[in-house]
Amino acid sequence: MTAIANRYEFVYLFDVSNGNPNGDPDAGNLPRLDPETNQGLVTDVCLKRKLRNYVALEKDGEPGFALYMQEKSVLNNQHKRAYEALSIEPESKKLPKDEAKARELTAWMCKNFFDVRAFGAVMTTEVNAGQVRGPIQLTFATSIEPVVPLEVSITRMAVTNEKDLEKERTMGRKHIVPYGLYRAHGFISAKLAERSGFGEGDLQLLWRGLINMFEHDRSAARGEMAARKLIVFRHESAMGNAPAHKLFDAVRVSRTDGETDSPARGFADYRVAVDRAAIPAGVEVQELL
Q: Is residue 109 part of a domain?
A: no
Q: Is residue 108 part of a domain?
A: no
pLDDT, tens digit (0-9, with 9 covering 90-100), for 132-170 = 999 999 999 999 999 999 988 888 777 777 777 676 666
Domains: count for the chain: 1
Q: What single string gives the DSSP state of each residue in 163-215?
A: GGTTSPPEEEEEEEEEEEEEEEEEEE-HHHHHHHT-BHHHHHHHHHHHHHGGG
pLDDT, tens digit (0-9, with 9 covering 90-100), for 22-49 = 999 988 889 999 999 999 999 999 999 9
pLDDT, tens digit (0-9, with 9 covering 90-100), for 76-128 = 999 999 999 998 888 888 998 889 999 999 999 999 999 999 999 999 999 99
- Its domain, for residue 45, covers 8-67+133-150+177-287
Q: Is residue 255 part of a domain?
A: yes
CA distance 165 to 159: 7
Q: Is residue 228 part of a domain?
A: yes
Q: Is residue 50 part of a domain?
A: yes
Q: Is residue 26 part of a domain?
A: yes
Average of per-residue pLDDT across 186-204:
96
The residue type found at 231 is I
Beta strands in the chain (DSSP E): 8-19, 23-24, 30-31, 39-42, 120-124, 128-133, 136-138, 141-146, 150-156, 170-188, 224-235, 251-255, 270-274, 283-287
Q: Is residue 106 part of a domain?
A: no
pLDDT, tens digit (0-9, with 9 covering 90-100), for 197-239 = 999 999 999 999 999 999 999 998 888 999 999 999 999 999 9
Give 258's pLDDT tier (boundaries 50, 70, 90): confident
Q: Is residue 97 part of a domain?
A: no
> What pTM was estimated for this model as a whole?
0.91
